Amino acid sequence: MPSKPAFVTSLNFAVPEVRELKLRTIEEIFDKYDFDGIELDLMRYPRFFRAFLEYRNAVFLTDFLRTVRQRLDEQAQQRGRPIKIAVRVDENLVACRLDGFDVGTWINQGLLDILIVGDYAFPGGDDIQEFKDLAQGTPVQVYACVAHPDKIIGGSTFLSGDASAVLHGLAANYWEQGADGMYTFNWFPHKQPFQIPLLKEIGDPQLLTTKDKVFPADCSEFGPGAKYGHPGNPRFHNWMFVSLPITLREVWNANSFTVIPLDVADDLGGPSAEKVKSLRLWVQLKNLVSGDVVDFQINGRPLARMPEPEEGGLIQFTLRPEQLKVGRNEVGARLNTRGAQAEKDIILAAVEIHVDYE
């Protein structure tokens, strides 16, 4: 762990006075203002207890949420209309448990109305389905967080550049996986005009059908060649499950590939197939030297020999629609040969499927 973790100022919800402080704040807001509801964003940041005590202290966070629900229900009775509660959590149930989020109890006891899943790490189809299974038979809706990924090839971010294609891809995936709605995080349409039409587009899966898309593999800012080499950020529980970046090292068996999962929402063999103009796999490799060879697969089938890398270590493969399927796809990478001048390990930094329509 770093000497100065990013969560040293976090408040411990196992301390009664902390919960009382937060409860009083919420009560004051609803005493003063006639809001329709409140979002409890537990992902900014998910550090509510001392490290390694999160799971056993989950009861305190549940007690806090139960009390908020009771107090706001009392306010709602006085107003004559409901006050909705939305809660944002990790993108999978394992990370939720590690952070002390007892999501199943919250749903079963009616402590929330909208469950928002995800952060900069992406929920997969199985993840969303597990949350949906918990909510089945209840009025709770499951929303997916559409946040700009930490890493995309080309460098466009939520602060610079038009990242419409990657946000199209994420939203399309979440709709295909069964989410009830979309939630945006760290969007700035007042500074980034390209995000204004996106607000409508990501909310309508029909509008997304033939929009250009980038389907990215999950990537964090922790790991080899990344911003941080260790999990100093309080988000590290949900980022435990991302695939990239990763170092490619020699393996003994020719069938041993590093497998990168990647979700694709578009049915490229369906009615929209005629409108596909370009279908490519983009891969970014760092520290390549002359003579390096990396073998790649898509869904277990080999791709052509690695072409010469472009600027920044970009490798592009042209794909055929039949090589992909709706839902989970797998890109395999295996270090074949290292060049004689190699000094640093090869890092697989990013993997993306690019779909361009006419």
DSSP string, 115-164: EEE-SSSPP-HHHHHHHHHHHTTSS-EEEEEEE--S--TT---SSSS--H
Point out the residues of the chain with pLDDT beneath 50. 1-3
Is the link from the previous residue into 205 a cis peptide, with omega within 30 of 0?
A: no
pLDDT at 157 (0 to 100): 58
| Identity at 56, one-letter amino acid code | R
DSSP string, 73-103: HHHHHHHTS--EEEEEE-SSHHHHHHHT--H
> Which residue ranges make up each domain of the chain?
16-209, 238-357
> Is 88 exposed, middle or buried (CB count within 10 Å of its CB: 0-12, 13-18, 19+)?
buried
pLDDT > 90 in the chain, percent: 76
Indicate if the alpha-carbon torsion angle 43, 48, 52, 54 is positive or negative.
negative
With tokens 């197939």, the residue in question is 273
The highest-level CATH class for domain 238-357 is mainly beta
pLDDT at 58 (0 to 100): 98
CA-to-CA distance for 170 and 353, rounded, in angstroms? 12
pLDDT at 3 (0 to 100): 44
CA-to-CA distance for 143 and 116, rounded, in angstroms? 5
Q: Which fold has domain 16-209?
A: TIM Barrel (3.20.20)
Look at residue 41 and give its three-state secondary structure. strand
CA-to-CA distance for 34 and 89, rounded, in angstroms? 26
pLDDT at 317 (0 to 100): 97
